[in-house]
Structure 1
Amino acid sequence: MGWLNRLNPTPAFPPYTGPYKVGSAHVEIPTADLECPSPAPDGAQPTVAFRIFYPCQQDSKEPGVRWIPDPQREYIGAYARFLGANSVFANSFAIFPQLLYYITIPVHRDAHILEPPTQNKRWPVMVFSHGLGGSMNAYSHLVGSLASHGIVVIAPDHRDGSSPISFVSDPKTGKSTSVEYRRLPHKPSTEVYEGRDEQLRIRLWELGLIHSALIKLDSGLPLKNLRRTSKHNHSTDTLSQFTNLLSVRDPGSISYAGHSFGAASMVQFIKSTFYHKSTPQDSSYKPLFTPSPSSDLVRQITPSTSVTLLDLWTLPLQSPGTAWLREKPMPSYHSPEGGSRLLAILSEAFYKWSANLNETIRTVAKPKTTSNTFPNQPGPHIFYPVASAHLSQSDFGVLFAWVTTKIFGAKEPERVLKLNVRAILQTLRNSGVEVAETSFMDREVEREDGKGARDEEILSREKGVVRDWISLGTEAGAHGHEQVSKGPADAVVEGEVLGEVVQEEER
């Protein structure tokens, strides 16, 4: 059957390599049913939506999930508009629309969750925030791979105008309305900073609601899922099966991650929550999210919280309204463990974007010795894979490898994602989180028994331990001789500038 698969023109995902099958559920909950630690901002929607990726029972045979959700025609049209009518990506969407309809995420829809083999009998939990042009499905291979290693991953569908299009169900009537993409320039300006701040207020509020949803899911409290479809659900409600199986109670137990604008969202979410007590009276600081001191979220975010930042896009962090927060170190540096729980992975494109790299290092580096209570604490883990593009950390890299290769020179898309997954898993292991071992095949190590192990080499700072996997230091100017000063269009910050890049390539 292998030759038939090669003849099939429909783009397809490679299989997950963890030991567990992966289930997935689409969730949309009325915000009135949740307790948000902060008031709703302007533009907030009446529901919050996310997809859950989780380890499911090994005999699961439920169908997969369409990568482009319903209504598919509207989603494809929105992506084509987002990518630019004349871009190669948009043309690929237009040429094979029927094939795109049938791209399937290799998960089992609403499958029964697997009983956790962990000591506390609960699955570790991660929340992953998408970037501009993303969605809850756009990083399915990355988060599905993590789920196949024993993590329940929550992928929000942000309704801040950062997705090509989002659909919101009316809690009373069930009818849907759309949230269209909000196009903003990428160059710094008062308008841009204010626009990104408005989006971040919605994103952070949604993340607070998702934390409330996780607490209720684990408690077994009833939640109305507006996206439940009876023909794919078991007799047992999909959401009720998570009762007492999620590690969300202990402080620092939930890990947070994001890509690009999603990474910036997580920096602001973690910092805003952790530093809520020390907010200055200075009127120049305009907090984007102020959780109630009595909320469960405030107890959850601690120096032991693990944070993963993929291709952190730093422009939103430089808003004058949040300058005070920008000067604060990541919360992990308030403990002797320091940056050991802090992982930043760049693409080579973002590594070569000097201004963004310097600001990324500034964001994750440990404080100067003079202001650091723990001067001997370790710094963060920072890496980039050679020949990788910004889209390499999303599904686009593996589904449309020929495009990313042609335009950006990206290579080995499946391996790049595996490197990301390996680094995330090992950072969690080093933080005491129980996840499955990494297979020797993924570690690219020969072993006759084929079993897995810890993956210490992926976090090694020595050159050449892992092929084309480069460790970066945090010293100021340490990489200046290797960098090229690039702007957002050159590094491809988001898809909306892709058309400009393609036009330059074709001239």
Structure 2
Amino acid sequence: MLSLPLIHGRFPVGVTTFVTPVRPSRLVGSAKLKSNSADHALQLEEVAFTAYYPADTSYNPSKGVDWLFRPLGASLLGLSSYSGISTWLLWPVVYFFGSLIKVPAYRNAPLLHPEKTKGGLEKQWPLVIFSHGLGGSRTAYSQFCARLAASGKVVLALEHRDGTGMACTPRSWGVDRGTAHRTIVYLREADVFWENGGPPKDHPMPWRGEQLAFRHHEIHVAYEAFQKFVTGAQIEIDTIDGDPFDKASWSSLATSGDSIIKHHEEIILAGHSFGGATALSLLATKPVENYQRIPISKVVVLDPWLEPLPTPGPVPYVPAKQSHEDPKCAEALMQALLDGTVNGSSNGSIPKLPQDPPQLFVINSETFTIWKDHFARLQEIVATWEPQGRRIATLIGSKHISFSDFSVLPILHKNHDLSIFDTICRLSLAFLHDRLDEALKEEDSTTGMNIEIVGTKPDGKPKRKLVGNIGHVIVS
């Protein structure tokens, strides 16, 4: 079996993909498909997410989960649409890796009861919600999600069906339940259109804006469905392939009488690239109607792509009594804007709010850090969320794909790719375990931010790079 790297951690990892219907289905945004003008581009009919979790392997579950979406022909079309590379050039790679590569985890294994762990010290598994980036999938970040799971967490990796994933097949939940009635592959803005005056004007990137709104719905549906599922409430939920799984293990209780999954508080939100933008957007936006606020306490953002987000901001959303909607806060903000000073400066930075937002930690690639304007905006955003701490880490030599499984594919990866990925996981876990400052002090590879010019880009602009050894960490 050609496999991704073995998963290191305290616990073996199980993988189960769940689906739940959305009743009634919803249309999000107003974009329509050019391929069929009668179809809305964003139809919310079913939500899917892959759970990575500590597994009970006492029943000898089978090991090895398909890494690429089936059928491989759909993955091929989606990857071609995303990359702009001909299917004729891509098909040998897609079929080779898609046919052979497995996620080294236990398929549909029961969830391990935390009190059955060595020493019985665990009481509940923390819950993580993960959002993938453009061209990603619910398994494209299996290494990162599995590392979190191996540390003792339940991770729900969304399969976003907004046209940002390689491919997916929403199913019918009617008479022909379980039958896929359409396949969605990666959608470019050129694949959609708007009637009646064109795209909406209230967003810097209209198509991405509507996809963000769709993702908000998916995250809320997944969270609420999962809560009902683990508490034994009535909910339509199934595995994506219809295979059996141990339902009882998911609704088990601790001796205290609580669920073995901490799903009602201290939720962790994580995402990469557009998934990072999704996390920030979700937390900066009032919950979608009919949904309750998700009690998120920590956020891990991996190389966030900020351009789809409106400016200024984003800033953490708080209820009216604590936000700009509060008369006193609104009055102070208006005066600051009239004076041309915000946060005591004249640089137009984002105003601080009288609130306690979720703790935020950002890990950036070198590619995005030397993107000067983008990094300046990131620093401004993080200063609003974490005014007291340094919460951006950049890894020298890392690229935008360094956070996904694509960076550690067998045969293709280099030794430093594995080292960089390991550092990403270690820093993320240190943050989640409240020992980030300690971990950074222990790092013998931290360095300062120094940039040098190493040439000229094709557009005539200077080509820049960070000074230091590959894998070294810059904290800012």
Give the TM-score range, shorter chain. 0.7 to 0.9
CA contact under 8 A between 2:111 and 2:250: conserved in structure 1? no
- Segment drifting more, 416-425 vs 76-85: 76-85
The number of equivalent residue pairs is 396
Would the alpha carbon gap of residues 93 and 240 (structure 1) be closer, same or farther in structure 2, given more than 3 Å must change? farther
Match for residue 413 of structure 1? 417
SS at 1:223 equivalent = coil
Match for residue 158 of structure 1? 160
Q: Which amino acid aligns with 1:63?
A: K
1-structure distance, mates of 2:313, 2:384 = 23
Match for residue 193 of structure 1? 205
SS at 2:389 equivalent = coil
Q: Pick the aligned partner of 1:390 from 379, 393, 400.
A: 400
Match for residue 466 of structure 1? 444
Would the alpha carbon gap of residues 308 and 95 (structure 1) be closer, same or farther in structure 2, given more than 3 Å must change? closer
2-structure distance, mates of 1:199, 1:50 = 17
Q: Pick the aligned partner of 2:361 from 343, 346, 350.
A: 343
Q: Does 1:309 align with 2:301?
A: yes
Q: Which has the higher helix share?
A: 1
Would the alpha carbon gap of residues 458 and 44 (structure 1) be closer, same or farther in structure 2, given more than 3 Å must change? farther
CA contact under 8 A between 2:72 and 2:95: conserved in structure 1? no
| 5+ residue gaps, structure 2 | 30-41, 191-199, 318-347, 462-476
Q: RMSD between aligned alpha carbons?
A: 3.7
1:264-311 deviations in Å (ceiling 9; x for gaps): 000010121xxx3xxxxxxxxxxxx5345xx5425x24xxx1011100
Would the alpha carbon gap of residues 31 and 91 (structure 1) be closer, same or farther in structure 2, given more than 3 Å must change? same
Would the alpha carbon gap of residues 96 and 152 (structure 1) be closer, same or farther in structure 2, given more than 3 Å must change? closer
Q: Does 1:264 align with 2:277?
A: yes
Q: Which amino acid aligns with 2:52?
A: F
1:319-347 deviations in Å (ceiling 9; x for gaps): 6898997976798x823xx78x3110011
Q: Does 1:227 align with 2:239?
A: yes
Match for residue 247 of structure 1? 262
CA contact under 8 A between 1:112 and 1:241: conserved in structure 2? no
2-structure distance, mates of 1:192, 1:227 = 37
Q: Which amino acid aligns with 1:366?
A: T
Q: How big is the shift at 1:96?
A: 6.2
1-structure distance, mates of 2:53, 2:316 = 38
Q: Pick the aligned partner of 1:297 from 293, 300, 313.
A: 293
Q: Does 1:46 align with 2:45?
A: yes
CA contact under 8 A between 2:274 and 2:304: conserved in structure 1? yes
2-structure distance, mates of 1:205, 1:307 = 18
Would the alpha carbon gap of residues 264 and 70 (structure 1) be closer, same or farther in structure 2, given more than 3 Å must change? same
Would the alpha carbon gap of residues 226 and 132 (structure 1) be closer, same or farther in structure 2, given more than 3 Å must change? same
1-structure distance, mates of 2:316, 2:456 = 27
Would the alpha carbon gap of residues 120 and 400 (structure 1) be closer, same or farther in structure 2, given more than 3 Å must change? closer
- Segment drifting more, 59-68 vs 310-319: 59-68
1-structure distance, mates of 2:351, 2:429 = 24
Would the alpha carbon gap of residues 260 and 235 (structure 1) be closer, same or farther in structure 2, given more than 3 Å must change? closer
SS at 1:94 equivalent = helix
Would the alpha carbon gap of residues 401 and 355 (structure 1) be closer, same or farther in structure 2, given more than 3 Å must change? farther
Q: How big is the shift at 1:254?
A: 0.3
Q: Which amino acid aligns with 1:67?
A: W
Q: How big is the shift at 1:459?
A: 2.8
Q: How big is the shift at 1:121?
A: 2.1
1-structure distance, mates of 2:311, 2:370 = 23
- For residues 85-124 of structure 1, the aligned pairs below 5 Å read 85=85, 91=89, 93-95=91-93, 97-117=95-115, 121-124=123-126
Q: Pick the aligned partner of 2:188 from 180, 183, 192.
A: 183
- For residues 442-453 of structure 1, the aligned pairs below 5 Å read none
CA contact under 8 A between 1:386 and 1:470: conserved in structure 2? no
CA contact under 8 A between 1:139 and 1:393: conserved in structure 2? yes
Match for residue 11 of structure 2? 20
Match for residue 57 of structure 1? 56
Q: Does 1:84 align with 2:84?
A: yes
Q: Which has the higher strand share?
A: 2
2-structure distance, mates of 1:194, 1:229 = 34
| 5+ residue gaps, structure 1 | 1-7, 277-288, 368-373, 406-410, 431-453, 473-478, 491-507
- Segment drifting more, 205-214 vs 133-142: 205-214
Match for residue 282 of structure 1? none
Q: How big is the shift at 1:103?
A: 0.8
Q: How big is the shift at 1:249?
A: 1.3
Q: How big is the shift at 1:192?
A: 5.9
SS at 1:318 equivalent = coil
1-structure distance, mates of 2:107, 2:455 = 45
Would the alpha carbon gap of residues 169 and 240 (structure 1) be closer, same or farther in structure 2, given more than 3 Å must change? farther
Q: How big is the shift at 1:207?
A: 0.9
Q: Which amino acid aligns with 2:284?
A: K
2-structure distance, mates of 1:168, 1:148 = 29
SS at 2:53 equivalent = strand
CA contact under 8 A between 1:162 and 1:181: conserved in structure 2? yes
2-structure distance, mates of 1:345, 1:424 = 8
1-structure distance, mates of 2:109, 2:19 = 17
Greater RCO, 1 or 2 (C-alpha within 8 Å, sep 6+)? 1
CA contact under 8 A between 1:80 and 1:93: conserved in structure 2? no
Match for residue 75 of structure 1? 75
Q: How big is the shift at 1:229?
A: 4.1
2-structure distance, mates of 1:487, 1:246 = 52
CA contact under 8 A between 1:20 and 1:58: conserved in structure 2? no
Scaled by the length of structure 2, the TM-score of the pair is 0.73
1-structure distance, mates of 2:262, 2:457 = 41
2-structure distance, mates of 1:383, 1:181 = 30
2-structure distance, mates of 1:128, 1:50 = 9
2-structure distance, mates of 1:49, 1:421 = 24
Match for residue 324 of structure 2? none
Match for residue 138 of structure 1? 140
